[in-house]
């Protein structure tokens, strides 16, 4: 008997028919003689609908109350799925994140997991139950409900798999594995049989929505075998593991993009020691993550620099900078939206010069200007205008020889060109 953690996203449990399909898939696994813990997200667009309702009542969206609100979406899913599994003749019990033992830091909206006490989960398994756990949520030591941020159900699943020493964590989604890029954009994207933790972590951090970055971090740190597969078919998925075999001739493994990007520029800043520390220290104190930073040359003792943040953090970042103006005199602050970060990732890039140059050439050939660049040993990222995103992604995919003759599988049926 093996112990599996199975995670199903919102699209997999989007309505009652899909919920029944998931229940059947879980029971099928249990009938094979395995113990099953199932982590689920809120149904379909539930989270977005709740946010929209909250905005109608309060434009400020108080963080604590948003966590109270949004955690109800997963609670609906776990109770319905438990009922569906019981209807198929199996014992099942549902737990919220805090009932399952998730203890988090006291940060609303994007808390990190401090510890997991899975005693109730283990007891329920020992009693022969299929255990259903709400993803995306936890509780602080002093009893405050928190959420782990969008996509946090992946993190819940992997962290729980590590805590209960599961044999594997399977992430079920509407695509049947990890592709070289978004198969909704490139219909001939290449499905990867396996990918390394490091490559997957880069792709996830750079916008590939199939896995949450913190989930990959947990899997790498804990050595949890991670498998991404479709909830709509039984096709073989993609294995994420420590070392992955590199396909012959493939230098770039994947192409990711992130539309949640804003660029903020601070112009006419005094070129004195400590300026950057003060600016980015103030942003960090407000839990604002800064991605790419570019500083221009100095003129008349003044410098300009730009940085990118998540679009959702743009207003808060501008507010922080406005608060610094009295003690950090600058000429002005500007910001840009409608941007996207496009990235190429591949372990083979280390030993192949010219990979970045090819990326720049392809983007320029599409008539698109590059605004910011960031590199590491296994990735190159470019911030560009978002108007020609699809054309750029398709051109890069072809340029790095990632196109295949097969059609990507999304949501079960084949995607047509």
Say what the pLDDT of residue 247 is.
59
3-state secondary structure 103-131: EECCCCCCCCEEEECCHHHHHHHHCCCEE
- Across the chain, what does the average pLDDT equal? 91
Residue 134 tokens, joined: 């709400």
pLDDT of residue 409 exceeding 80? no
**CA–CA gap between residue 304 and residue 296 (Å, rounded):** 5
Say what the pLDDT of residue 249 is.
58
pLDDT confidence tier of residue 150, bands split at 50, 70 and 90:
confident
pLDDT of residue 33 exceeding 70? yes
282 φ, ψ to 5°? -65, -40
Known binding-site residues for substrate equal 47, 74
pTM comes to 0.82
Asked whether the beta carbons of 261 and 383 are under 8 A apart, the reply is yes
Say what the pLDDT of residue 213 is.
86
Token match 């395995």: residue? 34
pLDDT confidence tier of residue 242, bands split at 50, 70 and 90:
confident
Q: How many helices (H) and strands (E) does the chain have?
A: 11, 18
Known binding-site residues equal 7-10, 47, 74, 173-174, 179, 184
Say what the pLDDT of residue 207 is.
84
Helix axes 389-399 and 355-365, enclosed angle (nearest 10): 140
The more confident residue out of 95 and 354 is 95
Known binding-site residues for ATP equal 7-10, 173-174, 179, 184
Residues 6+ apart with CB under 8 A from 3: 34, 35, 36, 37, 125, 164, 165, 166, 167
Domains and CATH numbers, the chain: 2-173 (3.40.1160.10)
Could you report the per-residue pLDDT of 49-93, keeping only the tens digit for each? 999 999 999 999 999 999 999 999 999 999 999 999 999 999 999
The more confident residue out of 213 and 415 is 213
The more confident residue out of 247 and 161 is 161
What secondary structure letter does DSSP report for 410?
A: B
Residue 24 tokens, joined: 């059947």
């Amino acid at each position: 008997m093996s112990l599996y953690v199975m995670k199903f996203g919102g699209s997999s449990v989007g309505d009652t028919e899909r919920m029944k399909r998931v229940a059947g898939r879980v029971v099928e696994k249990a009938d094979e003689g395995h113990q099953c813990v199932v982590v689920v997200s809120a149904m379909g667009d539930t989270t977005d609908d709740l946010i929209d309702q909250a905005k109608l009542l309060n434009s400020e969206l108080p963080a604590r109350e948003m966590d109270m609100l949004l955690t109800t979406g997963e609670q609906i899913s776990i109770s319905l799925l438990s009922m569906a599994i019981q209807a198929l003749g199996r014992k099942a019990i549902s737990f919220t994140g805090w009932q399952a033992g998730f203890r988090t830091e006291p940060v609303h909206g994007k808390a990190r997991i401090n510890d997991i006490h899975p005693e109730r989960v283990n007891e329920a398994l020992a009693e022969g139950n299929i255990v259903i756990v709400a993803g995306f949520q936890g509780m602080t030591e002093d009893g405050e409900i928190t959420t782990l941020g969008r996509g946090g159900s992946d993190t819940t699943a992997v962290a729980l798999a590590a805590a209960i020493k599961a044999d594997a964590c399977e992430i079920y989604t509407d695509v049947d594995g990890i592709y070289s890029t978004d198969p909704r954009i490139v219909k001939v994207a290449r499905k990867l049989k396996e990918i390394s933790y490091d490559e997957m972590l880069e792709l996830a951090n750079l916008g590939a929505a199939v896995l949450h970055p913190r989930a990959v971090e947990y899997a790498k740190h804990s050595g949890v075998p991670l498998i991404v597969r479709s909830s709509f078919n039984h096709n073989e998925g993609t294995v994420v593991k420590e070392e992955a075999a590199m396909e012959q001739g493939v230098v770039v493994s994947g192409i990711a993009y992130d539309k949640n990007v804003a660029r903020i520029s601070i112009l006419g800043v005094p070129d004195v020691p400590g300026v950057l520390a003060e600016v980015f220290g103030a942003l960090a104190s407000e839990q604002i993550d800064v991605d790419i930073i570019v500083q221009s040359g100095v003129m008349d003792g003044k410098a300009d620099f730009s940085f990118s943040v998540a679009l959702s953090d743009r207003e808060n970042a501008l507010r922080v900078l406005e608060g610094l103006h009295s003690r950090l005199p600058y000429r002005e602050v500007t910001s840009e939206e409608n941007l996207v970060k496009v990235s190429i990732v591949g372990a083979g890039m280390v030993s192949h010069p010219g990979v970045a140059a090819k990326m720049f050439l392809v983007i320029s050939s599409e008539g698109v200007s590059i605004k910011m660049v960031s590199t590491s040993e296994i990735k190159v990222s470019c911030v560009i205008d978002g108007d020609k995103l699809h054309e750029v992604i398709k051109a890069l995919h072809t340029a790095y020889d990632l196109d295949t003759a097969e059609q990507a599988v999304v949501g079960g049926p084949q995607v047509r060109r």
